[in-house]
Amino acid sequence: MDEVALLEGLLQHYSPTGHEAEAVNYLVAQMQAAGLKAFVDEAGNAVGVAALTGEGPATVMLLGHIDTVPGLIPVKREGDILRGRGAVDAKGPLACFVSAVARVAHTANRNPVSADASRNQVSGNLKLVVVGAVGEEGDSRGAHFIKNKYRPDFTLIGEPSGWEKITLGYKGSAWFEYRVARTLAHTSAQNESACESAVNFWNRATQWASERNANAPKMFEQASPTLRGMNSGSDGFVETAALKFGVRLPPGLSVSELDTALRDLAIEAELTLVEGVPAYRAEKNTPLVRALLAGIRAACGAPGFTLKSGTSDMNLVAPLWGTPIVAYGPGDSALDHTPHEHILISEYQRAIEVLTGTLRRLPEV
């Protein structure tokens, strides 16, 4: 398999959320050509499976996502740089997953039974499942489908961490809609207008977050509200104002607790919780982490850990599966969703080497 061509081809199939089918079909064809059992599942996810010396006992789920945010970026190679929408978030990590699984499966097929624990062979039974999930940038319908279909023993989430870093957790998120209506009155009456009510609610919400965060110096431990939309209107008798906003949740703050706190601040107004998912932080001392640390060191890297202020499919599947879990993948997450999104080919190849070594070690840890 030409691993760089795999990623370049995946980037050329522009796949904003809701329009992933062509990219899915491309990836399934590439996985089949690499010897994986590959198919499109009922949710539209691209799935590739490699069973090494049997169907178990351990199953490793490598869950990436194939959709991107909107914004077409022409695919272009410039030396070590590969540009394109999704190069970092998250087709780079997904192509890394496919490439590593293909390498391990190829070695296992040539050496089906071995007690050799070297980096070049796999011992023990292992089933590897790669998923290019749809909808992660939207309603995560791909992850919602697979979370009830699989029960893996180990899980890797395909998100950019940088090839030397392991992501242990993501903040949660909750999205709200606020709406208030007020009877129109002359401005001299000094009554609170609908717009003033909305502004005052937002000020109370941000003040609540500031007070809660006073004893939480780290960003991962803070509640972070962000205003995403606002509008107002009038029919001549009643004026209305509406806000759309999100809050990033730290561990220890549930969606229901946040909802209750904000409702207490919404005076004579309607507050709707649209959706929410709690934060998740994985354990550090697990066989999966140990194998990945060894893989990074073997590739001459200096491993480290990170926590992300965003949200990923880890938040959805980890609480249900209860499996050792991390997020890993090449790329600089600061480039996520930007018009400058690109990945270093050398980093992408180094991450494939790391992940290949990790999967080969996993039955031994």
Q: Which residue has the tokens 């992850």?
A: 143
Catalytic hit among 3, 20, 136, 347 = 136
Measure the CA–CA gap between 169 and 325, rounded to whole angstroms: 9
According to DSSP, the residues that pair with 339 across neighbouring strands are none
Q: How far is CA 280 from CA 202, 264, 306, 310, 330, in A?
A: 27, 26, 13, 11, 21
Backbone phi, psi, residue 150, to 5°: -120, 155
Closest CA to 96 of 358, 352, 360, 357: 352
Catalytic hit among 3, 8, 20, 67 = 67
* 229 token code pair: 């939309």
Closest CA to 317 of 91, 118, 146: 146
User: Which amino acid appears at position 117 of this protein?
Assistant: A
Residues 6+ apart with CB under 8 A from 346: 80
Write the DSSP symbol of residue 86. T
* 24 token code pair: 């899915």
Beta-strand pair 238-249/81-83: unpaired
The yes-or-no answer on residue 136 being catalytic is yes
The yes-or-no answer on residue 313 being catalytic is no
Residue 347 near residue 81 (C-beta atoms within 8 A):
no
Residue 264 near residue 201 (C-beta atoms within 8 A):
no
No. of helices (H) and no. of strands (E), the chain: 9, 16
CB burial of residue 195 (10 Å; 0-12, 13-18, 19+): middle
Catalytic residues: 67, 136
